[in-house]
A and B are shown apart, each in its own frame.
Chain A
Amino acid sequence: MAETMTKEVKEKEELEWFGPKERKLITDPLNDDNPVTVQILGVCSALAVTTMVKPALIMAVSVTLVTGFSNLVISLMRNGIPKQIRMIVQLVVIAFLVTVVEQVLKAYSYPVWKQLSVFIGLIITNCIVMGRLEAYAMANPPWRSFLDGIGNGAGYGFILIVISVIREFFGRGAILGFKILGATDEFLLNTTKHWWLSWYQPNGLMVLPASAIFLVGIIIWIQRARNPKLVDIS
């Protein structure tokens, strides 16, 4: 987290809507400063909600909204927040936004709410949200903080979706509930009917949370091998 603290904006610097610095706020968390694979935050929920693509997508959108708007709100309030209770104030803002997201989800997508149940509430404890508030929003202007929040939420969501696509495809032979590869006629490709596919078996491990930790590990490995900037970090 130390390296993200140094991103503070100098006072005289001119603020733009979408200058190079602003664009970097969005693109950095997707690769060089990814919250899951580089900062290793939010791994717990990445294991829990990635069995299928749909809940992972909803979780990604929810977290992105929460990080974005909590960064915005805290950044707007940052000069008035008493230092002694700043973490409590941050938590109230996060909890407020998470509750709103949860209520909206419950109203418009009840089965998914039922499935995600406890994990939506646990966005409050997702280290990424509070980490960004402490590291960025407390010291930066609102628009940039908002972009930083959206960027980090998207970085988290991106990893979630990659993992969930792999897990749903190899574990259940489907993507987004659309059945592709399996041993019955419900699937697009019925493995029992093609001789060149008859060896195929869905990987039961992929359905279990443990598989996600292997996948996160493999993603970190690939990313570090390909990205020279990450070689000496951590």
Chain B
Amino acid sequence: MYSNRYITIYTLIMTLVVSVVLAFTVTGLKPFHDEAEAIFKKRDILGAIEGQLPKKLADMSDEEVLSLFDSKVEQVVIDAKGEPLDGTKAESVDMAAEEKKPEAERQYPLFIFNGEQGKIYLTSVRGNGLWDKIWAYVAIKDDLNTIVGTSFGHVGETPGLGAEIKDNPNFPKQFEGKQILNDQGDYVSVKVVKGGAKDPLHEVDGISGATITSTGVSEMMVRGLEVYLPYLQAQKK
């Protein structure tokens, strides 16, 4: 049997050594983590306009993604009123952090892709799924109305049900060609509906067995895109 004194000192020294070594490892690797995370995010964003890219995202190396992003993508940050802000880059806006601010102080990132078919506006939307947050990048064509692509993400929706928004390529594909404004030019966004979409321009099919995630996507599309409207309208003139 060991004395209590020995055990206490043993524990103290052990935890101290382990925590110091771990602290050094984590701080030492931090720059690598940040870089990897940034590339991952950019791939996610470009995922919404994969059809417009010279080759498939999966076949692109990290350097190609970065150089494409640097040369073709313009970054704008807008405030809650839709006015562009100076001095910040869209990639540094953290949607999760913005969500916690009061609505009037929020900032929204906007990526503008200068492709062969004119500008494509990549908006960032965020909402609630069944278990946790869901988000998407929605690419809008330069008519400022038609969606050309989406790329969804989620923290932890149920695999096979809610997670299909990301895992099943057919779900994001439904949004292609949908319009966020109706014939009169009023904002209607795109809704996810149960039991078959009827309106070919503003509705997509939900996922069976994932009603709450589908409703979440619907709500996210309505609320999330709305904040970009003033900015997009200003581009028209």
A: residues with CB less than 8 A from B are 80-85, 88-89, 92, 96, 99-100, 103-104, 106-108, 110-111, 114
* A96, B21: Cβ atoms closer than 8 Å: yes
How far does the alpha carbon of A114 sit from the alpha carbon of B40 in the complex, in Å?
10
The reply to whether A106 and B2 form a contact with Cβ atoms under 8 Å apart is: no
Contact A107 B14 (CB under 8 A): no
Q: Which residue of B lies closest to A117 (CB)?
A: B156
* Residue of chain A at shortest CB distance from B18: A96
Residues of B with C-beta under 8 A to A99: 22, 25
The answer to whether A107 touches B21 (Cβ under 8 A) is no
Q: Is B104 on the interface with A (CB-CB < 8 A)?
A: no
Query: Are B36 and A82 in contact, with the CB atoms below 8 A?
Result: no
Are the CB atoms of B36 and A83 closer together than 8 Å? no
Closest 5 CB pairs of A and B: A110-B36, A107-B32, A82-B2, A107-B29, A82-B7
The residue that A92 contacts in the complex, of B18, B26, B29, with Cβ under 8 A, is: B18
Flag if B26 contacts A82 (CB, 8 Å). no
- B positions within 8 Å CB-CB of A: 1-2, 6-7, 10-11, 14-15, 18, 21-22, 25-26, 29, 32-33, 36-37, 39-40
If the complex has contacts A80-B10, A82-B2, A82-B6, are A96 and B40 also in contact, measured as CB distance less than 8 A?
A: no
Known: A100-B22, A103-B26, A110-B36. 19 other contacts (CB 8 A): A80-B10, A82-B7, A82-B10, A83-B2, A84-B2, A85-B7, A85-B10, A92-B14, A96-B18, A96-B22, A100-B25, A103-B25, A104-B29, A106-B36, A107-B33, A110-B33, A110-B40, A111-B40, A114-B40
Q: In the complex the two chains form, what is the Cα distance from A84 to B10 in whole Å?
A: 12
Bound-state CA distance A80–B10 (Å) is: 9
What residues of A have a CB within 8 angstroms of the CB of B6 in the complex?
Answer: 82
Nearest neighbor of B17 in chain A, beta-carbon distance: A96
CB distance from A147 to the nearest CB of B (A): 25
B190 to chain A, nearest CB (A): 28
Query: In the complex, A82 Cα to B26 Cα: how many Å?
Result: 29
Whether the Cβ atoms of A106 and B33 lie closer than 8 Å is yes
Assess the B11–A85 pair: CB atoms within 8 A.
Answer: yes
Q: Are A103 and B29 in contact (CB under 8 A)?
A: yes
A136 to chain B, nearest CB (A): 21
Residues of B within 8 A of A88 (CB): 11
- Whether A107 lies near B36 (C-beta < 8 A) is yes
Residue of A nearest to B160 (CB): A208
Residues on the B chain within 8 Å of A108, using CB: 32, 36
CB closest chain-A residue, reference B19: A96
User: What A residues does B21 contact at CB under 8 A?
Assistant: 96
- Give every chain B residue within 8 A of A103 (Cβ-Cβ): 25-26, 29, 33
